[in-house]
Structure 1
Amino acid sequence: MPGPTNVTTPAPNAPVTRSGRRVPDGVWICVLALLTAVAPLATDMYLPVLPQVAAELGAPASGAQLTLTAFLVGLATGQLVIGPLSDAFGRRRLVLAGTVLLLLASVASALAPSIAVLVVARFLQGFGGAAGVVLSRAMISDRTTGVRTVRLFSVMMAINGIAPVLAPMIGSAIGGLVGWRGIFVVLAALALLMLVASSVAVGETLDTDARTTGGLRRTFTDMGTLLRRPRFVGYLLAFAAAFAMMFAYISGSPFVLQQTLGLSPTQYALAFGANAAGLTLANIVSGRLASRIAPRRMLVTAVGLLVVLCAALTAVTLLGAARWPVLVLLFAILTTLGFVMGNGAALATGEVRDRAGTGSALLGATQFGLGAVVSPLAGADPVAMAVVMLVAVSVSALALAALTRGPRATPH
């Protein structure tokens, strides 16, 4: 007999829970955005309280900075391990396991009695948080294609793109109220929320017959295979180098805007908020335009404009770093960046749908690896910050021009 007429069949490749019920795009993408937001929050909320950590634990400044480095190393390493493993074992169980590790490591960080314990806890925190970062991209790639992929990536970037910009102010406020350990309590609460949300709203997205076999050797073979695809490497470098440009801005702007341009803490917060709004709005607009303008065209145009804007910022800082020209240019740069992030991630993962977990791992590891390298180079000097931003976005443009013009290495 025919089934009831009021039962709705999920659309092909729609995200579903373990019970098989369809998850609305809005709910699904918000959960994935929450999974990816932990990286910028755990990185940048912690920056304002580094002096407190060093003082309370009796460690030198270099020891406190090592806890930040340990987190970034854990984040990059975790993506390289978890992404390829998910191609063999599926996405959902690794998301849940990684989030549990993130929760436990956040609690351990809050209770750390020494700098050595905190360094280890921060590494584990980064390793666990890497699961949400790397697998959220893989899940989108598993279940979407074309314009829908770009739209969902853009929405996700819009939701969590504000996190790395506002996180230092949030961390400063929490640290001022309850001390640096309170930041890790907040991160533990966030991890618990992530665990509940992903348990309810995130189902398995990788079909059993699409999984790989072969263990660790297969993992390295897959990485080598993907790195021999010029288009993937081009989009990977374009995305990661643009992200590194943002890291240079984040690490350098607190000193440049306040010490060089003379902004008060309140004015600095307003400038950061305006730039975050521009970045978020651009991601939303980019998703809306995806059905009318090809993602590659948007990406190439935005990266070209970023080169021009960063060159102008460099010229302005060399001429004396006048307040309003610098502020206007930074706003324009961050807004334009919003057209790079979603399109770059979608185009990169689109080249490696056959190994989405491994591809997402390489994307994330390169993204945060370059960010970790670039951040200290920006320094406190406006010229240094501008030059680093210009070099980073120039690498992005060169990668697009040199590596993404040819045909795909394999059909997808």
Structure 2
Amino acid sequence: MTTSGRHFLQIPGPSNVPDSVLHAISMPTIDHRGPDFKELFTHCLTGMAEVFGTSNQVVIYPATGTGGWEAALVNTLSPGDEILCYETGHFSSLWKAMAEKWGLRPTMIAGDWRTGADPEKIREALAADTDHSFKAVCVVHNETSTGVTSRIPEIRAAIDEAAHPALLMVDTISSLGSVDYRHDEWKVDVTVSGSQKGLMLPPGLSFNAISDKALAAHETSTLPKSVWNWTEMLAAGRNGMTPYTPSTNILYGLKESLRLLNEEGLDAVFARHIRFGQATRAAVEAWGLEVLCTNENEHSPVLTAVIMPERHDADALRALILEKFNMSLGAGLSKLQGTVFRIGHLGDLSDLTLAGTLAGVQMGLQLAGVPIRTGGVDAALEILKGT
């Protein structure tokens, strides 16, 4: 059945791509060994360093965020190295599983999937590691499966309190460009990100921001690396080039995305996302439903995970909303499947788009026979009007 009107893509990534970014991507392909590419790539490297908040050179790969995870591990670690991970949801678990495939030995601090990484538990684990066996601490900044944002500055402080030399690696795949993040100031060693969320691009680019300490670890790392090798990527990047074929047309899109972010101003972008999160949670509360995240200081500005009442299936609700209103919502992942749906409110989004999204959710809940109170949209509008 054909549905009139636009499709509402309200999953927490890949996010909507602005028209001007799509137009930029459609530019004719250029010689990736010529002067035009050098100018384009140098511009993107400089712009991404500003978004990460780093003075060091950033690495840009033609890959998804998963490639960025792998690059962070293989460029800094050696077979058998122990790492400390924190279970905040589906994606933290996947990063741990990747480490195991590479012959690393991850220890996972158990979490409840409703709160972020606990700085005190990380401090305790590192303080007990008197032999400094842990070579890295891996944390997801914004856990896309749960709508929880971990407090990275407090985690950095916990590592420093424990006087532990472990590298701090942070996944910002669903937060960079939407949530305040400061690689250098927060003393993060490797920051991983991807193109398809806050940067408002299709999937296809991944990034590593790298500290001097991580570069030193790279010199002694013995895990195999070819495509991901920082040495080759950084050397080529200093000349505005790449050691192998880049995603030329997506880089055109990245240049335009950076222009849009700078035009709005990153502080304004961050404030807008905070406001969208507040409005969405106000709607959920007014409906009488429960937000998955339980810590007021860790609510994600880019998505909200909503718990369905007992005997109501989240996937059935999502299917109904897609059929009736042509809107896609995020599914519950792994152990949250069927019990949670996720509302994405990130990237190329306006107050009016969010209001329409929440209206679609409210209508869907009512059609599905989910017992809710009306007034969720009005509660959200009060937040949006007031700010």
**Bigger proportion of residues as strand:** 2
- Please confirm whether the aligned pair reaches a TM-score higher than 0.5, indicating the same fold: no
**Bigger proportion of residues as helix:** 1
TM-score, normalization by structure 2: 0.30
TM-score, normalization by structure 1: 0.29
